[in-house]
Copies of this chain bind each other. A is one copy, B any other.
Amino acid sequence: MKIGFVGLGIMGKPMAKNLIKAGFDVVVTTHKQEVIDEFVALGAKGAKNAADEVKQGCDVIITMLPNSPQVREVTLGAGGVVEGGKSGITVLDMSSIDPVESQKISAELEKSGIELLDCPVSGGEPKAIDGTLSVMAGGKKESFDKFLPVLKAMASSVVYVGPIGSGNVAKLANQMVVAANIGVVAEALTFAKKAGTDPRLVYEAIRGGLAGSTVMDAKAPMMLSGNYEPGFRIKLHIKDLTNALNAAHAINMPVPMTAHMMEVMQELMNHGEENCDHDDIIKYYERMTGVSIAEA
């Protein structure tokens, strides 16, 4: 199987390297000659663009891009997959985008006999490097089964969720839960501090019970120590919540908690904190209350 890869960013680069390590023939494309050279040294080939990857004989193109406009461009636009002029190939879009866009792009690709699977991931750069990402996949089940070994080369967990768009629905559901779980941990610990108790002791008292969560374990210690290093940047979480609100509103579904967390994140953006980790939500409460749980 020959795999074309588009999107050699912080996540895409180690993902593509793991494909090479797993023994796949990989063709990459990027404007940066030094990155092409880096991959050629690892045994990959370089291409001008996605169309060129197809022309070089790739049967599957993986895209790992910022959002749906880039996915649309790389598949349907100038120099894109369709321009490669070959039907029967498959695009695995591993970007996190609006599932409604996944469905639209899929429908347009179908006209050229090209299939799309939406396979967004969770887990950040360290898991991309280790090949231990979590993939949530949508599309035709037979195709999912066919490309499972490809996805497994980059991920420790790969779950098939349903028809095209379902992968991104799951990813957005994930991001909605993460946002609110961070929000309420920040609210509860700031309340504890403001009420005169030690938020560290409250954290220790409640983390083992029904209030426990992966967010509590991972983010409360960061908040308590004043560590806002990314991690997962506020601006990326805003992208996901924007897509979640779009996707929900496209089916007339009110998502009040998601909408609230979006407003909280707008306040953070307003303070120039777009590149902070999403645990920075604690700052919203800090500014609102005048107390910081990071102080002793």
| A positions within 8 Å CB-CB of B | 99, 122-123, 134, 136, 138, 157, 159-163, 165-166, 169-170, 172-181, 183-185, 187-192, 194-198, 201-202, 204-206, 208-216, 218, 244, 247-248, 251, 253-258, 260, 288-289
In contact, B205 and A215 (Cβ under 8 angstroms): no
- Of the A-B pairs whose beta carbons lie under 8 Å apart in the complex, a sample of 26, sorted by A's number, is A134-B208, A134-B209, A157-B208, A159-B201, A159-B204, A161-B202, A162-B197, A165-B196, A165-B197, A169-B191, A169-B192, A169-B196, A170-B192, A173-B189, A173-B202, A174-B206, A176-B184, A176-B188, A177-B213, A181-B211, A194-B253, A195-B251, A210-B214, A212-B214, A213-B216, A253-B289
Cα A195 to Cα B202 in complex, Å, equals 38
Indicate which residue in B202, B214, B255, B257 contacts A169 across the interface (CB closer than 8 Å). Answer: B202
In contact, A180 and B183 (Cβ under 8 angstroms): yes
**Residue of chain B at shortest CB distance from A176:** B188
**Least Cβ–Cβ distance between A39 and chain B, in angstroms:** 29
In contact, A256 and B187 (Cβ under 8 angstroms): yes
Chain A, interface SS category: helix
Query: So how many copies of this chain end up in the complex?
Result: 2
In contact, B257 and A209 (Cβ under 8 angstroms): no
Q: List chain B residues, Cβ under 8 A from A198.
A: 161-162
In contact, A205 and B253 (Cβ under 8 angstroms): no
Say whether, besides A157-B208, A206-B174, A260-B257, A169 and B187 are in contact (CB < 8 Å).
Answer: no
Q: List chain B residues, Cβ under 8 A from A184.
A: 176-177, 179-181, 257-258
Indicate which residue in B134, B165, B179, B210 contacts A174 across the interface (CB closer than 8 Å). Answer: B210
Q: List chain B residues, Cβ under 8 A from A204.
A: 159
